[in-house]
Structure 1
Amino acid sequence: MIINLDMIQSACAGVLIFLLGKKIIDWIPALNRFCIPAPVVGGLLFALIHLIGRQTGTFSFEFSNELKDFFMVTFFTTIGFSASWKIVKSGGWAIIVLTIVSVICLVGQNLIGSTIAMAFGENPLMGLCAGAISLMGGVASSAAYGPTMEAMGMQDGTLIAISAAVFGLVAGGLVSGPLARFLIDKYDLLSKAKIKDNINTDNIDYENLETGEEEVSVMNVNNFTIGFFMLIIAMGIGTIVKIPLDMIIQKINPVASLPIYIGPIIVAAIIRNIGDAKGKEMPINEMSVTGEVFLNIFLAMTIMQLEVWKLIGIAGPLLVILLVQTIVLAIYDILVVFRANGKDYDAAMMVAGFYGYAMGATPNAIASMNAVQERYKRGSPKAYFAIPVVGGFIIDMLMPFFLLTHAGLLV
């Protein structure tokens, strides 16, 4: 029996799956400790139920994805509105260093993934799906770029990328905190940090810097309306901006095309920075809340549609790629990220945060830094500012260029 869900029913199913995931996380604290998102939990459970139904021949689902794409584009447009040059500039050298090491890592993850994939005789694009798309990019990036990889010839690219992203979420939660603890204890960084407190060598007050996306406790209806309208306008103009960009990309690679959110995210970033230059207040918090809600629905709708039975043939090579990525990233974090950020307590906190978002997602990074802070009773304003700025939107802005360049070279 095939159960067909229309546009509204598919969106409703996504919301219900998300709510189910939240309830399961309440029941199983370990899921919250590793920052596994509710849409991932609920979506994977539904995907497994779908697998059972399909394999037994009792039931199967068909979904409509019009609203899923709308939710995705809206979320990424909110990322564009957070891309303030004023904020990046205020972070100083820490933002620059973290961005450089992140870009190097992004390229490295793609090289590792594609090399191992080719060694197994698989499509090298599989390596990108198990590389920066899923690890540095996370679940949302996997769901967004999976169809692009499929259009370029990687069968089941979305399934592979999201599966790798889920692996990365767990690995990021398991490894990042212990890495920071190892460095702090090995080099006695806590004691050195206390000594350094008496010598102010950093002229940037990271503790009082704001990213423009502070926690929202009360929503202003007028601001929410204005913010939502701004999102729709940026999305509409962005669809037009994407057309010439696709033409340029297709001159390099005829089968390539940019993800549908690229135009909107560029337009949103331009609007945000024009507003900053003119001193205009924007409802960034309200837009951020909208993006978070739509992201949860989009992820739930994407993950619940995963055809996990297709993973059987590639499970071995995929697992090898991910295990190598896990080990290499840990080595890179210690040898490069730690040293590049000053080899002090702040640098160790950056190590935890960097591994969290380079292997999983920015919430992983924050949770890992929180765990380190709880253990040593000392925070790091520098890390808490730099990690979300770089992991939260700078990398999202740079990702398309590097991914499509790598994909074009491999194809």
Structure 2
Amino acid sequence: MEITLNAYHTLIVAAIVMLVGHWLVFRIKFLSSFNIPEPVAGGLLAALIITVLNATLDLKFKLNADLQTTFMLMFFASIGLSADFTRLKEGGKPLIMLLVLVSIFIVVQNVIGVGLAALLGLKPLIGLVVGSITLTGGHGTAGAWGPVLEAKYGITGATTLGIATATFGLVFGGLIGGPVARYLIRKQKRKPLPQAHERSDVETISGTPRHEQATESEEEKRLTFEIFDQPRLITAYVAIETLAMFAACLTSADLLSRWTHGTAIELPTFIWALASGVVIRNVLTHMFRFEMFDRAIDVFGNASLSLFLAMALVSLRLWELADLAGPVAIILAVQVVVMMLYATYVTYRFMGADFDAAVVAAGHCGFGLGATPTAIANMQAVTDRFGPSYKAYLIVPLVGAFFVDLVNATVLQLFTQIPFLQ
């Protein structure tokens, strides 16, 4: 038996899943320590319950697909609307270098995924799901590409596999970042900061006055990418103005998707939404001197992602993954090892082989397998012990949160066009 939920019921279920997820993350330290998103925590619990109901009562649920798609497109539009290319100038050469290194790694990730999938007897495109779709892209990209791979390329369970793999990436991205950075810092023979009980009332061992330390600490916190509890003052006018830009992105994406259907430049609709956001953002900002309200864009984008993930996770069919568990585990194990080696011997060296480079390497482990909050958590753990790294806190969030999604979308589109992978 299948229960179909309309748009209202779907929205209510998504909200309940998010509230349950918030409670779980608040109560369970493991979930908060590894930055597991609240809709993922609540959604996976819902998916497990639905799996049990399916196994015992042969019961299935079908949510409103149009509402889910709308929130997904709004999330990708928010990425585009946040991608101001003047930020490339702010980060300078280090940001460009990190973006190049991350772009190369996205290709490496997909080559490994596709190659191992073929060797293990799976469809090669499954390797993209266990590659940059989920590991660099995260849950949002996994939920977006899953239906495309299922409908267009016949990859059964792509969405379910993607969500599971993205969750795996969050956990291991948080686990390996610290050890990689500590290994690199030990090679530099850098001493950890003295603990609070080891400091004098006036100065630290390094001679930095305590009041200056407090200033550095506050500045370091200011440079972190996202503080979710920070109040966001958004007026009704700003909300309507921001929604108008989202509406323009979604309208543009829908039209472009229809016009290019069946042509050589056919792209998934969510990529058109992202691209439309990039164009609208940079045209309004640089040609019309329009002042964008980034906080409003972030709020709508984060809320859309949360609702989309909650709906996607409730729709999961975990029983479809049984046959893939073994091969996927092997591919993921290799991806984790390659991430550690790349961060240690490539990211670290090309970013300068100094303390800042070690912190950047920890951040790369975070968003290379998980997400930007995981990268920030990795860097925070390192800088709390060894001192601040303003360079890392400037460039890692810019690359991990904005520009990497543009590169990843381009690379994935190219991979899906390779004939022998289809």
Distance in 2 between residues matched to 1:186 and 1:117, nearest whole Å: 36
2:216 corresponds in structure 1 to none
Q: 2:236 aligns with which of 210, 221, 225?
A: 221
Distance in 2 between residues matched to 1:138 and 1:5, nearest whole Å: 27
Amino acid at match of 1:369: M
1:345 corresponds in structure 2 to 355
**1:387 Cα deviation (Å)?**
1.1
**1:391 Cα deviation (Å)?**
1.1
2:41 corresponds in structure 1 to 41
Distance in 2 between residues matched to 1:285 and 1:212, nearest whole Å: 12
**1:59 Cα deviation (Å)?**
3.3
Are 2:246 and 1:231 aligned? yes
**1:246 Cα deviation (Å)?**
4.4
8 A Cα contact 1:87 1:211, kept in partner: no
Cα deviation digits, residues 83-133 of structure 1 (max 9, x gap): 111112221111111111111110111111111111111100111110010
| TM score, norm. by length of structure 2 | 0.88
Identify the range of structure 1 (5-14 vs 312-321) with the bigger mean alpha-carbon deviation.
5-14
2:3 corresponds in structure 1 to 3
Identify the range of structure 1 (355-364 vs 393-402) with the bigger mean alpha-carbon deviation.
393-402
Alignment of 1:179-194 (within 5 A): 179-189=180-190
Distance in 2 between residues matched to 1:208 and 1:37, nearest whole Å: 21
| TM score, norm. by length of structure 1 | 0.90
Cα deviation digits, residues 369-403 of structure 1 (max 9, x gap): 11112222x22121112111111111111222211
8 A Cα contact 1:113 1:128, kept in partner: yes
| SS of equivalent to 2:61 | strand
**1:217 Cα deviation (Å)?**
3.1
Amino acid at match of 1:124: P
**1:210 Cα deviation (Å)?**
8.1
Alpha-carbon distance change, 366 to 313 in structure 1, aligned in 2, over 3 angstroms? same
Distance in 1 between residues matched to 2:417 and 2:190, nearest whole Å: 44
5+ residue gaps, structure 2: 194-204, 209-218
Amino acid at match of 2:240: T
1:405 corresponds in structure 2 to 414
Alignment of 1:17-32 (within 5 A): 17-32=17-32
**1:245 Cα deviation (Å)?**
4.5
8 A Cα contact 2:47 2:316, kept in partner: yes
| SS of equivalent to 1:91 | helix
**1:177 Cα deviation (Å)?**
1.4
Distance in 2 between residues matched to 1:208 and 1:87, nearest whole Å: 19
8 A Cα contact 1:148 1:258, kept in partner: no
Distance in 2 between residues matched to 1:114 and 1:94, nearest whole Å: 30
Alpha-carbon distance change, 239 to 34 in structure 1, aligned in 2, over 3 angstroms? same
Amino acid at match of 1:16: I
Amino acid at match of 2:412: L
Amino acid at match of 2:356: D
Alpha-carbon distance change, 53 to 212 in structure 1, aligned in 2, over 3 angstroms? closer
| SS of equivalent to 2:35 | coil
5+ residue gaps, structure 1: 198-205, 251-256
8 A Cα contact 1:72 1:295, kept in partner: yes
2:145 corresponds in structure 1 to 145
8 A Cα contact 2:99 2:404, kept in partner: yes
Amino acid at match of 1:160: L
8 A Cα contact 1:10 1:65, kept in partner: no
8 A Cα contact 1:209 1:385, kept in partner: no
Amino acid at match of 1:219: I
Distance in 2 between residues matched to 1:16 and 1:382, nearest whole Å: 40
8 A Cα contact 1:114 1:126, kept in partner: yes
Alpha-carbon distance change, 211 to 45 in structure 1, aligned in 2, over 3 angstroms? closer
**1:147 Cα deviation (Å)?**
1.4
1:241 corresponds in structure 2 to 256
1:201 corresponds in structure 2 to none
1:200 corresponds in structure 2 to none
8 A Cα contact 2:149 2:155, kept in partner: yes
Amino acid at match of 1:9: H
1:253 corresponds in structure 2 to none
Q: 1:276 aligns with which of 259, 277, 285?
A: 285
8 A Cα contact 2:68 2:311, kept in partner: yes
1:133 corresponds in structure 2 to 133
| SS of equivalent to 1:3 | strand
Amino acid at match of 2:257: K
Amino acid at match of 1:392: A
Distance in 2 between residues matched to 1:223 and 1:212, nearest whole Å: 22
Q: 1:288 aligns with which of 298, 305, 309?
A: 298
Identify the range of structure 1 (183-192 vs 78-87) with the bigger mean alpha-carbon deviation.
183-192
**1:58 Cα deviation (Å)?**
5.7
1:297 corresponds in structure 2 to 307
8 A Cα contact 2:177 2:365, kept in partner: yes
Distance in 1 between residues matched to 2:37 and 2:225, nearest whole Å: 23
1:363 corresponds in structure 2 to 373
Distance in 2 between residues matched to 1:264 and 1:6, nearest whole Å: 25
| SS of equivalent to 1:92 | helix
8 A Cα contact 2:223 2:393, kept in partner: no
Identify the range of structure 1 (392-401 vs 359-368) with the bigger mean alpha-carbon deviation.
392-401
**1:318 Cα deviation (Å)?**
0.4
Q: 2:270 aligns with which of 261, 269, 272?
A: 261
Distance in 1 between residues matched to 2:347 and 2:224, nearest whole Å: 22
Identify the range of structure 1 (237-246 vs 30-39) with the bigger mean alpha-carbon deviation.
237-246
Amino acid at match of 2:307: I
Identify the range of structure 1 (65-74 vs 274-283) with the bigger mean alpha-carbon deviation.
274-283
Distance in 1 between residues matched to 2:224 and 2:345, nearest whole Å: 29
| SS of equivalent to 1:219 | coil
Alpha-carbon distance change, 191 to 44 in structure 1, aligned in 2, over 3 angstroms? closer
Amino acid at match of 2:173: G
8 A Cα contact 1:130 1:321, kept in partner: yes
8 A Cα contact 1:226 1:283, kept in partner: no
**1:264 Cα deviation (Å)?**
2.2
| SS of equivalent to 2:417 | helix
**1:290 Cα deviation (Å)?**
0.7
User: Aligned residue pairs: how many?
Assistant: 394
Amino acid at match of 1:266: A
